[in-house]
Amino acid sequence: MARTHSSTSAKATLSQILGKAAAKHRYVSLAWVRARMPEISPNTLRGYLSEAMAAGEIHSAGRGWYSPIAERATLDPEPVAALGKLLAKRYPLLPHALWSTTQINPWLDHTLGKETLFVNVPSDTVTDAAAFLRQSGWAVVMNPTKKSGADFVPGDKQVVLRGVRREVGELTPERLLIELLLENRRLGILDEAERQAASRRWIESRRFDLTFLADQLRKSGLRLSALIGGRLQPTISEK
């Protein structure tokens, strides 16, 4: 009976902690929760957190991270559907990742009027892909740098084609935020403060996988602070 009472009391305490966390943070780490319940063993605490997730009190935000945000971040596929279909038909085995500036419009204070699409392909295929897209009526800018992209102006059926040496995989919301950061540094798509604010707004409104996001940032030599600007708190708890 004492054990049951202790378990019930601990779960009630955890529920209170998670409630207070949700009022302050959009993401909290396992270490943050553990520091507030030091009397509970790590395995037992994980079990309680699993029960809290099953009850909808908290949601997984990657390994060791939790969030009160129920809705997972997703990408609207419509802006890239036609181009994706065109590439898939011509190159059924070509790995490629597509995204559009239209996909970030919901999180901007001032939406971008002219759309630009971005396509990442393996670097040894970029020349052939550029030729095909131009033949198909697309205005292709291939591998623009900060110097060559200084005069970049979005236009109708404009695509930025970039050959990459890393593995080209599925473009997730986490990777889109990083691509936006990198391309904005090269092309000045929008004001940097606006980009940071939009990234923070999206992260605070929809649930991201922080573990995956941090890993992808690290591979690009970046930190989360560069993505959303300024301090991470209170959006993200200290570890």
Which domains, ranges and CATH numbers included, belong to the chain? 2-67 (1.10.10), 78-208 (no CATH)
First CA to last CA across the chain, in angstroms?
35
pLDDT at 40: 92
pLDDT of residue 151: 74
Are 97 and 166 in contact, with CB atoms under 8 Å apart? no
With a cut of 70, list the residues of the chain below it in pLDDT.
Answer: 1-5, 239
pLDDT in tens, 128-179: 999 999 999 999 999 998 888 777 888 888 999 999 887 787 899 999 999 9
Q: What is the pLDDT of residue 179?
A: 95
pLDDT of residue 8: 87
What span, in angstroms and rounded, lies between the C-alpha atoms of 226 and 163? 24
pLDDT score for 33:
95
Query: Could you tell me the pTM of the whole model?
Result: 0.90
218 half-sphere exposure, CB direction, 13 A CA radius: 6
Cα–Cα distance, 235 to 239 (Å, whole number)? 12
Token pair recorded at residue 225: 């602070």
pLDDT at 26: 96
- What's residue 117's pLDDT? 95
